[in-house]
Every structure is written in structure tokens, then in C-alpha cells.
Amino acid sequence: MQTIHIDVAVIGAGTAGLAAYRAAKAGGASAIVIEGGPYGTTCARVGCMPSKLLIAAAEAAHHAGHTDKFGVHVDGRIRIDGREVMARVRRERDRFVGFVVKGVDGIPEQDKLRGYARFIDNTTLQVDEHTLVQAKRVVIATGSAPVIPPPFKAFGDRLIVNDDVFDWEILPQSVAVFGPGVIGLELGQALSRLGVRVKVFGARGGVGPLSDPAVRDYARQALGEEFYLDPDAKVLEMGQAEGKAQIRFVSLDGEEETEQFDYVLAATGRAPNVRGLGLENTSLPLDQAGVPLFDAQTLQCGDAPVFIAGDANNILPLLHEAADEGRTAGDNAASYPQVKAGLRRSTIAVVFSEPQMMMVGSRFADLPQDGFVVGEASFEDQGRSRVMGINKGLLHVYADKGSGRFLGAEMIGPRAENLAHLLAWSHQQGLTIAQMLQMPFYHPVIEEGLRTALRDAQAGLDAIALA
């Protein structure tokens, strides 16, 4: 077994790990990145990019079948070739992965180590059976993996996770989706639009990441008009029959039903990949899930020379957050024992359903009661939205009662991904509602709906000031 002495050892070559490695090197430290699995980030291989490829195909099919309202008639039926759809998804997915792998190829060979790392102590790692890494500091950037609740094992080989979808060569006829979160809604709606019979089951009433009851209820109704969606499903029995997954449940109309599906997609969340790291051999304090306790600003684990970044810490499992955290962890690993808070941008989240969903800044559920006002805008009669035939949506913006500062927003509606960026920039700059209303709004654009919500919030603030 060989021994390597290094300043910084980074475990994981995903988005956070690669950012940490580059930051550590830029900080003047010697560094090595350790990876046991295939190169290529979660985003490129099984996350954001392949899912958007499937969604793009679904949108093309949906829009082609809904042109009559414009007086444009597509003669004959729309034919969806599932084999061609999935061939493009895999081809373009592999192209995106190739870009990441090409970036890894640019790392000097002596800075890359293949194998699975396990802690011997706080800063000593054993990589498989071939290498002992004696590091001065360590960055954990091992990503996350889908969580499969034990009862789902009853589906046997009919059970899949989102990673499996993108390796399909053809589209199945039917899929049951458990979990109406971001992954479940995006893939469920996409598959439905591509002709797959889909039912989406949830628990406790959640729809995507939304916490505002009014916006969440609107989302439930809007999406439920297109495909079966029960966010608070009562599932009575899970199993297999006749080579398919079988589910006995209480339907939305209160009747007990039994249906069979080609596959069951478990979109029930993801958990940090920390099992098998040997963290029990360290002095790091761990939470109930076995994840090291850490400072959310510096990403340092306790007072040890160990840092944790990206999906492995499960703060905000998003690509741009992973990149920022990787840089913070790498910077601090290089400069240890001097550490400092890293960049924390305003929170922004988008669900690429149709209508889209977004959240910016503070969630409704996290705001202090009676400390804010709500500005509302419906997109059902919003000018440009009606022109384009995408006039479904509800936007809520939140403003601090005392200062008028913009606190956050939740929305389902058209072009939510674009509005989310405008609002996130405003939130990060600490703007008030009045200052946001001083910004230019063109006509006719969907952004005028945002102005309506801001005006409504300002009216609420003015009423408080006059009271």
C-alpha cells in the first residue's frame, strides 16, 4: 500500500468536489481529488440536464397538441416515438457528461486518485486497499443518493429511481410516481405528456417546494387538471402481480382502486452519501443521520480540519450552491486554521413543471407571523400571459411590515424561472418594495404581473403606515 502526503484531500469529484480542489490549489495548497464512481456530476449525469431533455421533448409534444386555440390546426394525430425521445435524452446527456469529464481530464494525473475513501482518523484516509492518504485537511464532497423507504421494496424489480429513467431505451406504458417534490413533478408531468399513463402519489399534502397554502393549493389544482395528482394519498397496499407493480389505494373521489404499473418511480428524497466513509473513526460530532455537524457559513466540521460541501451537507442541494460551497470549503481548507464565511447568495429554487414554480428568499412558512404583508398577482387575466395562452398562475411576494424590505416570494405560473431571477437579485440587494417598483417594466410582458404583486404589497404597507 502506497502512502501519499498532501495538504488537502477532497473526497468526491462532483460539482462541489471539483470546485473545492480548484480553490485549494488556487490558495497555494497541494491537493488531491479522490473518486470511486464514474466521473460526471449528478447534475449532468442523472439530474438537471437529462431531466430538462425529457421535459423539452414533453413540451414539444404538448404544444403541438394544443394549437387549436390560436386557430392553428395540426391535422392527424401527433406521434411520439419513445425510442427516439430516449435516444436524444441519452445522447445529449452523455454530451453534457463529456464536458465534465473533459474538465477532470485537465487535472494533473498526480492530483487524481481512483477509489473509495474511508477515514482512519480525522485526516488519514484509506482508499480501497491500495493507498493511504496522510492529509493536513479534508473536504467531504460525496454528494447524495436517492432515499427508498423500506415498504417500497415490495415492488421488487419494478421499483426505480430517477437515475434509472435516463437509461431507458423506450418509454413504458405506465408509471406510478411516489413523491410530488421537484423530481417527481418534473418527471411525472413529462412522462404524462409523452403518452405514459402516470399517477403521482404524495404524503402530507406537499406540492413541490411550495409552503404558501394559497400558492400550493393553486398548484395542486392546476397540475391535477393535466395528470393524476394526489399529494395526500392513502395507499393501502404495495406489491407485484403479473410481472407489474400493483398498488391498492383510495382515489381522489374516495373509491378504493387497484392498478398495475410498469414501474414505480420513488422520488421520495435524497440523502447525503456519508455511509461507508468511516466517520465513526473520527472525532467529528454527527447528527442523527450520521452527517457531521458543521458551520453553515465556513462549512467546517466542529473544530477539526475537515469541511463538508455540496449535497453531502444537504443544506441546499442545487448545482450553483454546490459550486459556491465547494469554493468556500476549498478556500478554508487551504487557509486553515484561518477560516471565514463563504459566499451565500439569496435562495432561489425553480421547478420546471408547466406552469413553473419558484421560491426566492424566505419561504412563507419561515416568515414571522404578523410581521409581513403579502402582495398577490393572478396570471389568469394578465395581458401577455393570455396572449400566449399560458394564463395560469399565482404569485405571492412578501414584504417586511416595518421596513418595507422585500423578504421573499412563492409562485406557480408562466416564466417563473425568469421572474425568480429578478426577485433573487432584488432580495440579495436588500431592496424595498418601493425601490423595486421604481425599476422599469416593459409592455406587454409577463413581468407586468410581478409589478401587480409589488403594487399590491405596497398598498398593504401604505395602509399600515396610515393606520
Q: Domains in the chain, start-ordered, CATH in brackets?
A: 2-146+271-335 (3.50.50.60), 150-268 (3.50.50.60), 348-466 (3.30.390.30)
What confidence tier does 314 reach under pLDDT thresholds 50, 70, 90? Answer: confident
Please name every residue paired with 247 in a beta bridge, in sequence order, or none if there are none. Answer: 238, 259
- Provide the pLDDT for residue 104: 87
Query: pLDDT tens for residues 223-253?
Result: 999 999 999 999 999 999 999 999 999 999 9
87-107 CB burial, b ≥16 within 10 A, e <16? eebbeebeebbeebbeebeeb
Please name every residue paired with 112 in a beta bridge, in sequence order, or none if there are none. Answer: 33
Average pLDDT over residues 54-81: 93
Residue 181 is assigned to a ligand binding site? yes
Q: Are strands 406-413 and 372-378 parallel, antiparallel or unpaired?
A: unpaired
pTM score, whole prediction: 0.93
- Are the C-beta atoms of 387 and 351 separated by less than 8 Å? no
What confidence tier does 97 reach under pLDDT thresholds 50, 70, 90? Answer: confident
Residue 171 is assigned to a ligand binding site? no
- Provide the pLDDT for residue 36: 93
Please name every residue paired with 359 in a beta bridge, in sequence order, or none if there are none. Answer: 349, 410
- Are the C-beta atoms of 454 and 436 separated by less than 8 Å? yes
- Provide the pLDDT for residue 203: 93
Query: Could you tell me how many residues make up the chain?
Result: 467
Residue 242 is assigned to a ligand binding site? no
Q: Are strands 31-35 and 2-11 parallel, antiparallel or unpaired?
A: parallel
Q: What is the largest CA-CA distance in the chain?
A: 76
Residue 184 is assigned to a ligand binding site? yes
Calculate the average pLDDT of the chain: 95
What confidence tier does 467 reach under pLDDT thresholds 50, 70, 90? Answer: confident
- Provide the pLDDT for residue 77: 84
Report which of residues 168 and 75 the model is more confident about. 168
What CA–CA distance (Å, rounded) separates 373 from 397?
8
Whole-angstrom Cα Rg for the chain: 24
Residue 144 is assigned to a ligand binding site? yes
CA atoms within 13 A on the CB side of 252: 14
Alpha helices for 3-142 (secondary structure H) = 15-26, 42-46, 48-64, 82-105
Of 215, 220, 216, 243, nearest in space to 233 by CA = 220
3-state secondary structure of 454: helix
Cis peptide leading into residue 337 (ω within 30°)? yes
pLDDT of 316 strictly over 80: no
Query: pLDDT tens for residues 320-338?
Result: 888 999 999 999 999 999 9
- Are the C-beta atoms of 363 and 409 separated by less than 8 Å? no
Query: pLDDT tens for residues 116-174?
Result: 999 999 999 999 999 999 999 999 999 998 999 999 999 999 999 988 999 999 999 99
Selecting among 62, 63, 320, 443, the annotated active-site residue is: 443
- Are the C-beta atoms of 67 and 74 separated by less than 8 Å? yes
What CA–CA distance (Å, rounded) separates 118 from 275?
10
Q: Are strands 197-201 and 174-178 parallel, antiparallel or unpaired?
A: parallel
- Are the C-beta atoms of 424 and 346 separated by less than 8 Å? yes
3-state secondary structure of 398: strand
Residue 380 is assigned to a ligand binding site? no
Q: What DSSP element (H or E) covers 223?
A: helix 213-224
Amino acid in position 69: K
Query: Is 320 designated active site?
Result: no
Query: pLDDT tens for residues 36-45?
Result: 988 877 777 7
Angle 280-283-285 from CA coordinates, rounded to 5°: 80
Residue 174 is assigned to a ligand binding site? no
Residue 269 is assigned to a ligand binding site? yes
3-state secondary structure of 310: helix
CB neighbours of residue 189 within 10 Å = 25
pLDDT of 20 strictly over 90: yes
- Our CA dihedral for 336, 341, 342, 346, rounded to 10 degrees, sits at 170
280: CB partners within 8 A, 6+ apart:
none
pLDDT of 211 strictly over 90: yes
Average pLDDT over residues 191-218: 97
Angle 49-309-417 from CA coordinates, rounded to 5°: 35
